Structure 1
Amino acid sequence: MDNTSIQHTRWNCTYHIVFIPKYRRKIMYGANKKDLVEIIPKLCEMKGISLIEGKVCKDHVHMYVAIPPKLCVSEVVAYLKGKSALMFFDRHPELRPKYADRHFWARGYYVATIGNVNEETIRQYIKEQEENDKLEDGMK
């Protein structure tokens, strides 16, 4: 990804972000996964974030994103987790009793900056996550 420009600033701020559902519940499959795959890119687009690569696995989400320097990473993650939870519960009201306090996501998250040196490594790692989930399901 080349440098992007906003007004008088050229930037290349890319991050690897991982977050999990509360109690690391393995609930993101089937219709739940499909809905989150639709919701997260829509929220990224609304906020001006480029979702370069992403995977929704059964118990975590991996994202490789470009966030403009005018936005704070922690605020972006809070926005994505908060709004996605609300949109998810709107689509799946039957899950609200399990999450009485409407906390779908766990409090923390993982973030790492990505330079051009390890960009391909991160992309490959994210792509392999779904395959690893399938392998784990086959072992049980």
Structure 2
Amino acid sequence: MDTDHLNHSTWDCKYHVVFTSKYRTKRLYGELRRELKDRFVTLALQKSCLIEEVELMPDHVHMLISIPPKYSVSHIVGFLKGKTSLYVANKYAKKRRYKGYHFWARGYFVSTTGY
């Protein structure tokens, strides 16, 4: 069994997370898709999380992420969505007519996994 360790705990917490682009518009394609995949991995490592798998569809994202118990799922998902939204707005705002920092929709789906 793959487990991770903190000072006072041993854990194996994996979550299936899905979130969509604003209005489910098909925005995730080409160069942006490749860059966001790398950006998700580097941002997760900043919070000592590990993205096991990530799949970017044209209008939504599926990821299997391992989150340590010291962080809540909502904190990590908010961090990932917020930082990638800022990145997209700063890099692609003039090319693709994005309005402000509103790239992702407000909610997300999360489910625990048992493997």
The structure with the largest helix share of the pair is: 1
Asked if residue 86 in structure 1 is aligned to residue 86 in structure 2, the reply is: yes
Q: Alignment partner of 2:98: what SS?
A: helix
1:95 Cα offset (Å): 5.1
- What corresponds to 2:27 in structure 1? 27
1:29 Cα offset (Å): 0.5
- What corresponds to 1:112 in structure 2? 111
With structure 2 as the length reference, what TM-score do the two structures score?
0.93
CA–CA distance in structure 2, aligned partners of residues 63 and 38 of structure 1: 13
Confirm or deny: 8 A CA contact 2:20 2:108 kept in the other structure. Answer: yes
1:50-104, Cα deviation, whole Å (9 max, x unpaired): 100111111111110100000000111100000011112222131574323x110
**Bigger-Rg structure (1/2):** 1
Confirm or deny: 8 A CA contact 1:17 1:111 kept in the other structure. Answer: yes
- What corresponds to 1:75 in structure 2? 75
Q: Alignment partner of 2:55: what SS?
A: strand
Asked if residue 41 in structure 1 is aligned to residue 41 in structure 2, the reply is: yes
Q: Alignment partner of 2:102: what SS?
A: coil
Q: Aligned AA for 1:108?
A: G
Q: Aligned AA for 1:107?
A: R
CA–CA distance in structure 2, aligned partners of residues 34 and 90 of structure 1: 17
- What corresponds to 1:60 in structure 2? 60
Confirm or deny: 8 A CA contact 1:89 1:96 kept in the other structure. Answer: no
Q: Which runs of 5+ in 1 are unaligned?
A: 117-140
Q: Alignment partner of 2:34: what SS?
A: helix
With structure 1 as the length reference, what TM-score do the two structures score?
0.77
Matched positions, count? 115
* Structure 1 residue ranges (4+ consecutive) displaced by more than 6 angstroms after TM superposition: none
Confirm or deny: 8 A CA contact 2:55 2:61 kept in the other structure. Answer: yes
